[in-house]
């Protein structure tokens, strides 16, 4: 298996405030993330709002440079702007909301040809041909070539967005919540399309989602993030079968199951995400964790190997016992 993307200690910090009334601060949106993405595989990044998963997507698509850390695409380091420009072509993105990510004043044909025009690929005739071929691939009809985005339903629009992302033959697609704005019956169509395209084109997906049932269906590996840091990383099946980190357990327990005979009334969940502006010292999850000990509020746990997962928790042995 070819390694397509590798992240080593990625950090992305934003300075905030420093205005008339606000004190200067530093939001550590992503604070030390490592992962490897293989050809034809799906890595899912899971977490609640504010955990840094979308910022990670922006770094992975080279929209923003990381504050610290190294990103390798196809074995090449993304070091400067020139390298960035070249490598950017092989990473494309599908956005969450297909109602906002398509230009309402352009027809589907124009939207699909735009990436080729910007990069001076082929003649006008070749570009049109490429766009039409891509429409077939994602299940859009040829007579829809001249239509505008508002004439399509949400699911169809997400097909257009996926087609646009694939126009430059990328090897990596970063999908930021691609189905969360869609109804269930439409969601299944888009997930099937994404899986078919992955098989056909050997695409690697960085799949960002908060919906665990979708992740369970599409991913091979799962990384759970909390407050900008990965708390657990491992193969999908074992993450869902035997979650190790207390946050992963809580996330799985909170997800409603569609089996009414298995109502999980017993689990109680307290607290909310801490502000990323001044995260607690120690473990960010300590304030909500039922197993928190003195060490957890003082010292930040680093990810360590535990039963085939990478888990960032001091108290694992005690929890498992």
How far apart (Å, rounded) are the C-alpha atoms in residues 107 and 160?
11
CA atoms within 13 A on the CB side of 162: 28
Per the listing, tokens 């505008």 go with 148
Toward other proteins, which CB reaches closer, 119 or 257? 257
Residues 133, 254, 293, 298: which binds other proteins (CB under 8 A)? Answer: 254
Residues 123, 260, 305, 321: which binds other proteins (CB under 8 A)? Answer: 260
The reply to whether 264 sits near other proteins by the rule CB under 8 A is yes
Task: Kindly report the backbone phi and psi dihedral angles of residue 76, in degrees, each rounded to the nearest multiple of 5, phi listed first.
Answer: -105, 135
Residues 24, 49, 125, 305: which binds other proteins (CB under 8 A)? Answer: 49
The reply to whether 27 sits near other proteins by the rule CB under 8 A is no
**Which parts of 163-202 interact with other proteins (CB under 8 A)?**
183-189, 191-192, 195-196
Residues 223, 250, 310, 316: which binds other proteins (CB under 8 A)? Answer: 250
The reply to whether 48 sits near other proteins by the rule CB under 8 A is yes
In order of 255, 264, 266, 310, the CA distances from 259 in angstroms are 12, 10, 16, 30
Contact by Cβ (8 Å): 102, 160: yes
Number of residues that bind other proteins (CB under 8 A): 43
Six-digit token string for 69: 């850390």
Toward other proteins, which CB reaches closer, 95 or 285? 285
Six-digit token string for 52: 């840094």
Toward other proteins, which CB reaches closer, 124 or 267? 267
Toward other proteins, which CB reaches closer, 6 or 180? 180
Contact by Cβ (8 Å): 272, 250: no
Q: How far is the CB of 209 from other proteins (least distance, A)?
A: 11
Q: Which residues contact residue 78 at a Cβ distance below 8 angstroms, ignoring those fewer than 6 apart?
A: 62, 65, 70, 71, 72, 84, 87
The reply to whether 278 sits near other proteins by the rule CB under 8 A is no
Select from 145, 21, 8, 9 the least CA-distant residue to 72: 8
Q: How far is the CB of 257 from other proteins (least distance, A)?
A: 6
Select from 110, 120, 242 the least CA-distant residue to 163: 110
Q: Could you list the residues that contact other proteins (CB under 8 A)?
A: 48-49, 153, 155-156, 183-189, 191-192, 195-196, 210, 212-214, 216-218, 250-251, 253-261, 263-265, 267-270, 272-273
């Amino acid at each position: 298996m070819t390694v397509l993307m590798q992240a080593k200690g990625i950090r992305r910090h934003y300075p905030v405030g420093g205005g008339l009334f606000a004190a200067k601060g530093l939001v550590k949106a992503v604070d030390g993330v490592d992962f490897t993405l293989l050809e034809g595989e799906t890595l899912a990044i899971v977490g609640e709002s504010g955990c840094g998963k979308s910022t990670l997507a922006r770094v992975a698509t080279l929209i923003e440079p990381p504050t610290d850390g190294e990103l390798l695409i196809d074995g090449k380091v993304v070091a400067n702007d020139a390298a960035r420009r070249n490598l950017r072509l092989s990473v494309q993105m599908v956005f969450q909301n297909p109602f906002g990510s398509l230009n309402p004043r352009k027809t589907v044909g124009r939207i699909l040809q735009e990436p080729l025009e910007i990069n001076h690929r082929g003649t006008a005739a070749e570009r049109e041909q490429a766009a039409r071929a891509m429409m077939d691939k994602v299940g859009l009809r040829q007579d829809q070539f001249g239509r505008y985005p508002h004439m399509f339903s949400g699911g169809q629009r997400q097909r257009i967005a996926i087609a646009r992302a694939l126009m430059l033959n990328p090897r990596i697609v970063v999908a930021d919540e691609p189905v969360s704005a869609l109804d269930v019956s439409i969601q299944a169509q888009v997930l099937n399309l994404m899986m078919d395209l992955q098989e056909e084109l050997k695409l690697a997906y960085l799949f960002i989602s908060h919906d665990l049932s979708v992740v369970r269906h599409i991913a091979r590996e799962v990384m759970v993030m909390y407050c900008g840091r990965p708390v657990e990383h491992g193969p999908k099946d074992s993450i869902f079968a035997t979650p190790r980190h207390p946050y992963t357990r809580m996330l799985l327990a909170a997800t409603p199951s569609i089996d009414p005979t298995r109502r999980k009334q017993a689990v109680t969940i307290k607290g909310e995400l801490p502000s990323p502006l001044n995260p607690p010292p120690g473990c960010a999850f300590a304030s909500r964790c039922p197993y928190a000990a003195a060490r957890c509020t003082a010292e930040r746990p680093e990810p360590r190997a535990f039963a085939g997962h990478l888990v960032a928790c001091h108290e694992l042995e005690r929890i498992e016992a």
